[in-house]
Structure 1
Amino acid sequence: MKLVAAKVPVSTVWTSPDAPRDIDAPAIAEQPDVAAWAKAMDTETRLGLHGRTLTQLLFAEPVLVRSERDGWSEIVAPWQPSSQDALGYPGWVPSSHLGELPGSASAPVAIAVPTASLLAEPGAGAAVAELSFGTVLASVEHVDGYTRVATPDGGSGWLSEDVLRSVEQPSGAEDRLRLGALFLGLEYLWGGTSAYGLDCSGLIHTVSRVLGVRIPRDAHDQADMLENIPVDEAQPGDLYFFARPDKPIHHVGFVSPEGMLHASETGKKLEDAALTDDRRSTLVTAARL
């Protein structure tokens, strides 16, 4: 195995090289346009992602490559813990989406706004790339309100400091709810962990990443790893988990003063609302981050 990094802003992870459909071409292009891909899909097309997509990698995220064939790489994502593999979340991505790990640096920072422009020089010129919320980068230096960050393939770029948050900065429940609320109205995307679409556990995982907390990618693994608490003791910023009788956990959301902040399901949008009767009937446990 070799350790590399995602060198595109968002790389979607697939169940196999044969999983993408014709409509998914923008997502697997050498320079993927995930925003256009998400915008082009209606509810039926999004439902077709079930069994095809698994998760997403963000720019500079480390990746272990297990094998390669026909322009695709079989990978595991160490930053996304999973019960499927002790090394990280498994799947397949186009090999063109992968490059060398960024150079060594310190003081990791995360993009804490929906999207941010990576610039070649501080405050100057067109964007080199548009990076997603949740992207974590190693900072190199700070100049006049901009931070230089290490990028894959030995490069670097600049980000405005007002879009960044140190992942080492302490955080609390209000931070989780504030960051989650940035995506109210965003359409649910199966396997999504980026500003262009989130699924229920993707929301929890990605917000936690910005706050410097590494938790599993999937809801059932999150429930298994985190400190479970009685449902009636849950406070805003904690997590609610849902399951049907004798079935594994299938849904998760942030407890909020209104009820729950969550990415509901395909065909719906991220919302902060009171729990429905169906949700209440399947609420099985809560957890504290």
Structure 2
Amino acid sequence: MKLVAAKVPISTVWTAPDAPRDVDAPATAPQPDVPAWAAAMDTESRLGLHGRTLTQLLFAEPVLVRSERDGWSEVLAPWQPSSGDALGYPGWVPSSHLGELPGSATDPVAITVPNAPLLAEPAAGIPVLTLSFGTVLASVERDKGYTRVATPDGGSGWLPDHVLRLASEPSTPDDRLRLGRLFLGLEYLWGGTSAYGLDCSGLTHTVSRVLGMRIPRDAHDQAATLRNIPIEDAKPGDLYFYARPGKPVHHVGFVSPTGMLHASETGKRLEDEPIPADRRATLVAAAQLA
């Protein structure tokens, strides 16, 4: 296996090379246009992603390539822990979305706004790329309100400091809710981990990544590995987990003063709402993030 990195802003991970449909062409193009893809899909198209998409890689995220076939790479994503493979979340991406790992640098920084321009030079006009919330990059130097970051294939670029936080910076439960609320009203996207669409565990995983915590990608793995606490002891910023009788955990959200901040399901939008009786009936566990 070889270690490489996503060289596009967002690469969607698929169950197999033949999983994408015609409507998914913008997401699988050599230069994917995930905002256009998300905007073009109606609810029926989004429901059709079940069994096709798994997760998403963000710019410069490392992956292990297990095999290659017909322009596709079978990968493992170590930043997304999964019970599916001890080395990382498994799936397939177009090989054109992958490049060499960024060069050595220090002090990882994370993008804390929905999207941010990567510039060729500080304060230099048109962005080279637009990067999503949750993107983590290694910093190289800082200069007058900008940070230079290492990028795949030996490059670098600049980001304004006000869109970044150091991954090592301490965080609080309030930070989780503040960042999650950036996406209130965002339409649910199965497998989504970006500012253009999130699923339930994509929200909790990506917010945690920004705050320097690497937690599993899927809800059932989060429930199995994070520190469980009594449901009645859960406080805002903790996690609630839901499961039907005899079934694995299928849903997760942040506990909030209102009830729960979560990406609900396909056809709905990210919301912070009181927990309705039918959902509360399937509340089975709570966990605390470090």
Opposite residue 110 of structure 1, the aligned amino acid is A
Name 2:278's counterpart in structure 1: 278
Structure 1 segment 1-289 matched on structure 2, within 5 A: 1-289=1-289
Distance 2:285 2:76 in 1: 29
Counterpart Cα distance in 1 of 2:217 and 2:282: 21
Q: TM-score, normalised by structure 1?
A: 1.00
Q: Distance in 2 between matches of 1:278 and 1:17?
A: 38
How many Å separate the matches in 1 of 2:87 and 2:155? 27
| TM-fit CA distance, 1:278 | 1.1
Q: Post-superposition, which runs of at least 4 consecutive aligned residues in structure 1 deviate over 2 A? A: none
Pairwise CA distance, 1:32: 0.2
Following the alignment from structure 2 to structure 1, what is the Cα–Cα distance between the partners of residues 108 and 81?
19
What is the SS of the residue equivalent to 1:266? Answer: coil
Q: Hey, what's the Cα distance between the residues in 1 that align with 2:111 and 2:166?
A: 9
> Could you tell me how far 1:271 is from its partner in structure 2?
0.1
Secondary structure of the 1:63 match is strand
SS at 1:126's partner residue?
Answer: coil
How far residue 223 of structure 1 moved from its aligned partner, in angstroms, is 0.5
Partner Cα separation in structure 2 for residue 69 and residue 228 of structure 1? 41
Alpha-carbon distance in structure 1 between the residues aligned to 2:282 and 2:14? 29
- Three-state SS of the structure 2 residue aligned to 1:125 is coil
Amino acid at match of 1:170: P
Q: CA deviation at 1:125?
A: 2.4
Residues in 1 aligned to 2:2 and 2:15: alpha-carbon distance in whole angstroms? 20
Q: TM-score, normalised by structure 2?
A: 0.99
How much has 1:180 moved relative to structure 2? 0.3
Distance 2:229 2:43 in 1: 35
Q: How many residues align?
A: 289
Partner AA of 2:65 in structure 1: V
Consecutive unaligned residues in structure 1, runs of 5 or more: none
